[in-house]
């Protein structure tokens, strides 16, 4: 029973990956809300640091520990840049984790060993897929030139994070599938 709960827990924890929209021209795609992007990016950044702190403490896989520390460093820096820009723009940002992020942190905190590593890697994978989508949307269709520039500047780093976690998460997925086949 527990093996079936973990994938569902991960989906609740990390959220569902965005479904690609049909191809559209730039003229067909509408502008995105800059304040909404800023709020989503801030909440995502807070969540990233929180779960990465758990990764540093609980991960048994050396790659995940290294990845976790890198996420803390990079996302703390990005969070600071976003906070400073939002203050100049008069935008209110969340200062605490939302309910979904709190649930994710609590759920991960209850796991240990390889089970933690697998769920944490999967949560990071989905989180970074969502972040790439949000930062791409803002960098392409944002209206505020400063927020748009911040998103465009951060996007290569977030894509790098996604490229880093993908093979790690896939290793756990493969080992998880092998253990369920026995």
The residues, any chain, with a CB within 8 Å of residue 37's CB and separated by 6 or more, are 134, 137, 138, 142, 147, 151
Q: Token pair for residue 164?
A: 């880093």
Task: Flag whether the pTM goes above 0.75.
Answer: yes
Per-residue pLDDT of the chain (182 residues; tens, 9 = 90+): 444 444 444 444 544 444 444 455 444 468 999 999 999 999 999 999 999 999 999 999 999 999 999 999 999 999 999 999 999 999 999 999 999 999 999 999 999 999 999 999 999 999 999 999 999 999 999 999 999 999 999 999 999 999 999 999 999 887 655 444 44
Listed residue (96, 114, 95) closest to 105, CA to CA: 96
- Domain map of the chain by residue range? 33-181
Gap between the Cα atoms of 182 and 164, Å rounded? 29
What top-level class would CATH report for the domain 33-181?
Answer: mainly alpha
Of the CA atoms within 13 Å of residue 155, those in its CB half-sphere come to 16
DSSP string, 150-168: HHHHHHHHHHHHHHHHHHH
Q: Name the CA radius of gyration of the chain, rounded.
A: 17
Is the separation of the CB atoms in 138 and 33 below 8 Å? no
């Amino acid at each position: 029973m527990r093996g079936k709960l973990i994938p569902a827990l991960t989906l609740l924890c990390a959220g569902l990956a965005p479904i690609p929209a049909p191809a559209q021209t730039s003229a067909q795609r509408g502008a995105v809300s800059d304040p909404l992007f800023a709020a989503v990016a801030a909440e995502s950044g807070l969540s990233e640091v929180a779960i990465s702190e758990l990764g540093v403490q609980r991960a048994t896989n050396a790659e995940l520990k290294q990845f976790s520390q890198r996420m803390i460093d990079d996302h703390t820096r990005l969070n600071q840049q976003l906070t400073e820009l939002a203050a100049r723009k008069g935008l209110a940002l969340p200062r605490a984790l939302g309910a979904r992020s709190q649930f994710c942190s609590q759920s991960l905190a209850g796991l240990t060993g390889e089970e933690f590593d697998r769920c944490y890697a999967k949560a990071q994978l989905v989180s970074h897929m969502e972040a790439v989508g949000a930062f791409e949307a803002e960098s392409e269709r944002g209206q505020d030139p400063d927020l748009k520039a911040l998103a465009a500047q951060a996007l290569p780093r977030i894509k790098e994070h996604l490229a880093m976690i993908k093979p790690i998460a896939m290793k756990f997925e493969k080992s998880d599938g092998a253990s369920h086949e026995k």
